[in-house]
Amino acid sequence: MSLEDCADALRDHDPDRFGICLLAPAEARAKLMTLYALNLELARAPLASTEPLIAEMRLQWWIERLEDIGAGKPQSHELLTPLAEAWGPRAAGFAVLAEARRRDAARAPLDGPDAVVAYVRDTAVPLAQFAAEALDGATGGFAPPDPRGVFGKRKNTEVASVIAAQAEGVGLAHWLAALPALQGLGLGLWDAAPGALAQIAGHARAKLAEAKAQRRHVPRRLAPVLFPGAGVRAALQAAPRGIEALAGAAPSEFRRRLALGSFALTHRWWI
């Protein structure tokens, strides 16, 4: 998978993040595209088999290959090769993104809103932090992150806090938008009653409000990784009405492009 292949995969399956890559500085695109393409593959890996053991073995393969990159072992793989070229040993840290997907291999629904929040926090927040690292390294940097992907210097804790809150809020909205499909895969909720969905939407709104209140701490150069996409408001409004309402809340391609174009002009990411 060359960078062009990464771009094609994102354009087809993750258009919002593809748009982020287009808005990023040229020197950051290789890092962002390979990171987001890896995230796409990790999300798919546990769904490639209905047998939990085989699905988990697929994830373990990715973890071991990322560890190999960290150890400096050369890669000959369509995605891992450009990933290693873009990130070097730092790519070993991406194993946390794979670890967070292990529960998907079991095809077991989540047992309530708190479990959904924990799952989204584990999957969405580290990804946003790694993406911010890619952008920040391309523009001079304000502090190196620690090995877990969290910004290290005390003066940057405010920025890390905003990124985490925005990623969690947006991630929950995206999870709700995907819920009709997730239910069919066995990855939704045991009890997807409107009350539970309203609770998840309420938590998402609280995290988005937290990020908005601290938006002045975030350098403009990091705005692309905070871009929420076009469907967040619609998903949060539809959630209390149930899964059927969520199924009809997906934004059109026109709305997606309009949201990205508006963000490109204003860099306004908060909701």
Is 69:80 a contact under the CB 8 Å cutoff? yes
Is the alpha carbon torsion for 124, 143, 26, 163 positive or negative?
Answer: positive
% the chain with pLDDT above 90: 85
Which three-class secondary structure state does DSSP give residue 189? Answer: strand
The confidence score (pLDDT) of residue 2 equals: 78
Inter-axis angle of helices 26-44 and 80-87, to 10 degrees? 140
d(CA 68, CA 73): 5
CB 196 within 8 A of CB 188: no
pLDDT at 211: 98
Question: Within 10 A of 75 (CB to CB), how many other CB atoms are there?
Answer: 17
Q: What is the pTM of this model?
A: 0.92
pLDDT of amino acid 170: 98
CB atoms within 10 A of CB 24: 22
pLDDT of residue 157: 86
Nearest Cα neighbor of 136 from 222, 9, 62 is 222
d(CA 40, CA 47): 12
pLDDT at 1: 58
Q: Which residues of 38-60 are buried (b: 16+ CB within 10 A; e: fewer)?
A: bbbbbbebbbeeeeeeebbebbe
Question: Distance between CA 216 and CA 213 in Å, rounded?
Answer: 8
Residue-level pLDDT at 5? 86
Helix (H/G/I), strand (E/B), else coil: 120: helix
**pLDDT at site 138:** 56
Distance of CA 246 to the CA centre of its chain: 20
pLDDT for position 263: 96
Give residue 78's pLDDT.
Answer: 85
Ranges in the chain, pLDDT < 50? 139-152, 154-155
* pLDDT number for residue 133: 95
pLDDT digits (tens, 9 = 90+) for 169-206: 999 999 999 999 999 999 999 999 999 999 999 999 99
In tens, the pLDDT along 98-130 reads 999 999 999 999 999 999 999 999 999 999 999
Cβ distance 133 to 146 under 8 Å? no
Dist CA 59 CA 91 (whole Å)? 15
